[in-house]
Chain A
Amino acid sequence: MVRIVESTILDAPVEAVWAVLRDFNGHDKWHPAVADSHIERGYASDKIGCVRRFHLADGSELREQLLTLSDADMAFSYCLMETPVPLLNYVAHVRLAPVTDGDRTFWHWQCRFDTPTGRETELRDMVANNIYRAGFDAVREHMGLPAARQGGRP
């Protein structure tokens, strides 16, 4: 079992960030890895159980199902149903929290998955860098926020 936990601070009020993230079909508007996306069977993107079918820039197709969505907790979770890469039993959780000191947003994104022995590090790095960290940067850009700080403390 591989686990990934990534988190960051966005310099925007939590309601504004949640407005972007809560649309389960909205990731093609901001995530550079996602070329197009639609919700199967014409369901609303906030209907629990809906499935988003989307393509990456390289043409590969993925399907993910919305498992939970909470406006009260500003959180949602989803699982991967079909993917060309061996991310098995992949379940991810996204959660936002307000930083009251400065009206900013804490964004927590974590997942776990199984994968064939020997590919753990490669796939962990791929998901952490290309999906999660790239997603943080992409939402900053989408919202017109300052770029992330690089590295550790000065």
Chain B
Amino acid sequence: MPRVYASSVIDAPAARVWEKIRDFNALPRWHPRIRESRIENGEPSDKVGCVRDFRLQNGDRLREKLLGLSDYDMFCTYAILESPMPLTDYIATLRLTPISDGDRTFIEWTAEFDCAAEVAADLVDGIGSGVFQAGFDALKRQMAG
């Protein structure tokens, strides 16, 4: 089962970063690859089980279901229900941990999924750099200053 792991340091307190990312419907407000998002059935975006239906800048559509959300541990876990990517059983977790030295944030994003062996390397690279690291870079820019 291919696994993606990316992590970074954001120069802002974890509570501030969490405020920005805890909203499961907020991707267009911080992730540059996401154009628009909505939560299906008018549910609140912190209701575990809710589904976000969103579009990338290139028009691709994805649906993802919120599996877990913890304000105490500052993580969110979700699964892909529909996407244009050739993969199945995709589950990802985005997690923050405070760095006490300097009051910064350690951010980790992991994913596991199934796919055909010949596309695994491309998917791991694409998700790791195009989605996870691109999100970190955007957060670092937005949280600076």
A residues within 8 Å of B by Cβ? Answer: 5-9, 97-102, 104, 106, 108, 133, 136, 148-149, 151-153
Chain B's closest residue to A132 (CB) is B100
Write the residues of chain B forming the contact surface with A, with a CB cutoff of 8 angstroms.
5-9, 11-12, 97-104, 106, 108, 128, 133, 136
Kindly report which residue of chain B lies nearest to residue A8, judged by CB atoms. B101
Chain A residues within 8 Å of B104, by CB = 9, 153
B contact face: mostly helix, strand, loop, or mixed: strand
| A136 lies within 8 A of B6 (CB) | no
Q: List 26 A-B contacts (CB under 8 A).
A: A5-B98, A6-B100, A6-B101, A7-B99, A7-B100, A7-B101, A7-B106, A8-B100, A8-B101, A8-B102, A9-B99, A9-B101, A9-B106, A97-B106, A97-B108, A98-B5, A99-B7, A100-B6, A101-B6, A101-B8, A101-B9, A106-B7, A106-B106, A133-B101, A153-B102, A153-B104
Closest chain B residue to A152, Cβ basis: B103
Contact B101 A101 (CB under 8 A): no
Identify 6 new A-B residue pairs, CB closer than 8 A, beyond the known A7-B99, A99-B9, A106-B97. Answer: A7-B101, A8-B99, A98-B5, A102-B8, A106-B9, A153-B104
Contacts of B9 in A (CB 8 A): 9, 99, 101-102, 104, 106
